[in-house]
Chains A and B, each alone.
Chain A
Amino acid sequence: MAETNNQSLLSVNDLEVSFFTYAGEVKAVRKISYDLKFGEVMGIVGESGSGKSVSSFGLMGIIPEPGKIIGGSIVFEGRDITKMSEKELIKIRGKEVSMIFQDPMTSLNPVFTVGNQIDESLRKHTELNKEQRKERIIELFKLVGINQPEKRIKQYPHEFSGGMRQRVMIAMALACNPKLLIADEPTTALDVTIQAQILELLKELRNKINMSIIFITHDLGVVSEICDKVAVMYAGNIIERGSIDDIFYNPKHPYTWGLLKSVPKINADEHERLIPIEGTPVDLINPPQGCAFAPRCEHCMKICLTKKPPVCQVGENHEALCWLSVKEEFEKEASK
């Protein structure tokens, strides 16, 4: 594990993002808060539509139309990203914060060589001359494990396989030594053996250059491989967050329980029946008044349907957004 000092690199407070569509306001992210220290890897897990990607697009100031940040702040190294102008954002994007996307097939431009595409951010953000930039690109290719870099930088994206393209994307993201890397499902489109290669690479890079990573995924297995801490998102809320040991061995929110129980265990000897989470995710145009998970929750109480649960400290750096935790605490107090 890389060294983490206690300084906070990023802190997100009560972030709210909405999309203003014809059908109405879609509340994609509803007041989420978390912070990230230097060198830390945080996973964000959730189903499609839970707001995990949108919340991190906010960090780069690239929320697509008709989306808007309508509240909260994103403080990156003491400066609030939500209040920055486009000009200031350009200086941060690709330099201090960079991103790799899910689909390496569509996120590279097919008409430029890969070398040229990496060069673009170096031209923009650094003072290096042409020779130095070329050296830097070759160095980056070596870092991400692409063989024959001198030859490969002159090739076009179609000459690379999926795994190799993802390596190019990572090289591009690392070009200016970012402090924060946002990886949005970087391995979802890849095969398992290639996924293993990319995960190993990210782990190695994180130890080598000590950057922080936000890793967005729906795969709990990937989270347990690479992350230090996890935030579980459901319907635009972070419903639970804590260290990976907290989340995997001592989960407090019924949705987290459900997620963990609904994936088959590969090392199970006996055939165990899966326990699915019944029902389907909520409609974010009219999110329910109370807890968003209440309609699917087996532990649902009266209060869950009418009032949104508060953030509840259930351990050191471990929070859950659930009335059950409140109840538990209350009972503990009462028994004293």
Chain B
Amino acid sequence: MGTINNNEKLIEIKNLKKYFPIKEGFFKTNHVKAVDDVSLFIRKGETLGLVGESGCGKTTLGRTILRLHEPTEGQIFYDGKDITHVDMLPYRRKMQIIFQDPYASLDPRMTVGDIIGEPLDIHKMYSSKEERKNKIYKLLETVGLNAEHANRFPHEFSGGQRQRIGIARALAVEPEFIVCDEPISALDVSIQAQVVNMLEDLQAERGFTYLFIAHDLSVVKHISNRIGVMYLGHLVELTDSRELYKNPMHPYTQTLLSAIPVADPEVSRSRKRIVLEGDIPSPLNPPSGCPFRTRCPRATEICSQVTPELKEYGTEHFVACHNLEV
């Protein structure tokens, strides 16, 4: 969990939208509304968690913030500056990403040294070959590998080690903001904790700001200061991580929380879980009004007509729902 020194916002997005065009026939084009009108901010040194089921747009949101996808509409601010339409090269040094799949995100033909060295080359961050080499060795040590690994190829490493290489590559340019896109979901349980601890240590040491995307809620709660819950491209709830678990207000958050299996037989036996009917609707053809209304136990007339907006209840607890039990 990050420590926030002041209230300065590092990242802010306003009404961000990302639609992907889908060709349906020669003239007709439809749109997948992967991210639909999302606004949020991330403070300096904070970890913002983003949870939701597959297809809810959490990864797209993370990538759009980095402008790996060009936003369809809306604005992105970095440290107060609008970066929605600027040249990203200077900002790439400050904003980095760790990818989900450590098997697919490393070039199998490059040595580990070159993988980590590439960002250094692009941003010309060394004056001699010697310095480049030393920087790579230092990065490897930072992530718990050693200098001799620099000459090896990715296939010689296990999943956990590869994820460390991916992290070293992100750290190479000394960024301020890192998008962690499901960095641990491809790893074994005993290895997950190693990577989570490392991310936390790095943050404590260097004051990183994280956007932590995952579908494993217990890990997100562990690492995040605040958590945003997404459903079908919309942000439905956003609040402090402890508050979210103690007092979930949106009916979707409530179901999501009750669906997590708890590794404690006593708790599993005694608790009552809310089981949702049906599946997530297709983002090609989302329901009118509130996206969750087709599966929502509390849905009423108004839900199909008006899309609820995020409103603040209590301190910094934002919920988008018409029928809250307050």
Bound CA–CA A315/B259 (angstroms): 33
| A267 sits at the interface (CB 8 A) | yes
Given the interface pairs A47-B189, A276-B197, the reply to whether A248 lies near B275 with Cβ below 8 Å is no
Give the interface of B toward A (CB within 8 A): 1, 53-54, 158, 160-161, 188-194, 196-197, 200, 215, 217-219, 221-222, 242, 245, 255-265, 267-268, 273, 275-276, 279-280
Give the interface of A toward B (CB within 8 A): 47-48, 161, 163-164, 191-197, 199-200, 218-225, 244-245, 248-249, 258-260, 262-267, 269, 271, 273-278, 280-281
- In the complex, the answer to whether A221 meets B260 with C-beta atoms within 8 Å is yes
Given the interface pairs A191-B215, A276-B197, the reply to whether A222 lies near B279 with Cβ below 8 Å is no
Listed residue (A195, A260, A262) with the most chain B CB atoms within 10 angstroms of its CB: A262
Chain A residues in 8 Å Cβ range of B217: 192, 266
- In the complex, the answer to whether B263 meets A248 with C-beta atoms within 8 Å is yes
Chain A residues in 8 Å Cβ range of B215: 191-192
Given the interface pairs A192-B53, A193-B276, A245-B265, the reply to whether A267 lies near B245 with Cβ below 8 Å is yes
- In the complex, the answer to whether B276 meets A197 with C-beta atoms within 8 Å is yes
Chain A residues in 8 Å Cβ range of B259: 192-193, 195-196
Bound CA–CA A278/B191 (angstroms): 8
Nearest CB on B from A74, distance (A)? 27
Given the interface pairs A273-B197, A276-B193, the reply to whether A218 lies near B263 with Cβ below 8 Å is no
Chain A residues in 8 Å Cβ range of B1: 271
- In the complex, the answer to whether B255 meets A191 with C-beta atoms within 8 Å is no
Bound CA–CA A245/B266 (angstroms): 8
- In the complex, the answer to whether A259 meets B262 with C-beta atoms within 8 Å is no
Chain B residues in 8 Å Cβ range of A218: 188-189
- In the complex, the answer to whether A258 meets B190 with C-beta atoms within 8 Å is yes
- In the complex, the answer to whether A47 meets B190 with C-beta atoms within 8 Å is yes
Q: Quick one: closest A residue to B241, CB to CB?
A: A271
- In the complex, the answer to whether A266 meets B221 with C-beta atoms within 8 Å is yes
Listed residue (B54, B191, B215, B263) with the most chain A CB atoms within 10 angstroms of its CB: B263
Partner of B263, one of A48, A196, A224, A277: A224
Given contacts A192-B217, A266-B217, 6 further A-B contacts (CB under 8 A): A193-B275, A196-B275, A248-B265, A259-B189, A278-B194, A280-B158
**What would be 21 A-B contacts, judged by CB atoms less than 8 Å apart?**
A164-B279, A191-B54, A191-B215, A192-B259, A199-B261, A221-B261, A224-B262, A224-B263, A224-B265, A259-B189, A262-B190, A262-B193, A266-B218, A266-B257, A267-B245, A267-B262, A267-B267, A274-B196, A274-B197, A278-B194, A280-B191
Chain B residues in 8 Å Cβ range of A223: 263
Nearest CB on A from B158, distance (A)? 5
Nearest CB on A from B307, distance (A)? 21
Bound CA–CA A225/B191 (angstroms): 23
- In the complex, the answer to whether A221 meets B262 with C-beta atoms within 8 Å is yes
Chain B residues in 8 Å Cβ range of A260: 263
Nearest CB on B from A273, distance (A)? 7
- In the complex, the answer to whether B222 meets A271 with C-beta atoms within 8 Å is yes
- In the complex, the answer to whether B53 meets A259 with C-beta atoms within 8 Å is no
- In the complex, the answer to whether A161 meets B279 with C-beta atoms within 8 Å is yes
Listed residue (B190, B197, B217, B280) with the most chain A CB atoms within 10 angstroms of its CB: B190
Chain A residues in 8 Å Cβ range of B273: 196, 200
- In the complex, the answer to whether B262 meets A266 with C-beta atoms within 8 Å is yes
Given the interface pairs A193-B276, A264-B219, A266-B221, the reply to whether A277 lies near B193 with Cβ below 8 Å is yes
Bound CA–CA A269/B245 (angstroms): 10
- In the complex, the answer to whether B190 meets A220 with C-beta atoms within 8 Å is no
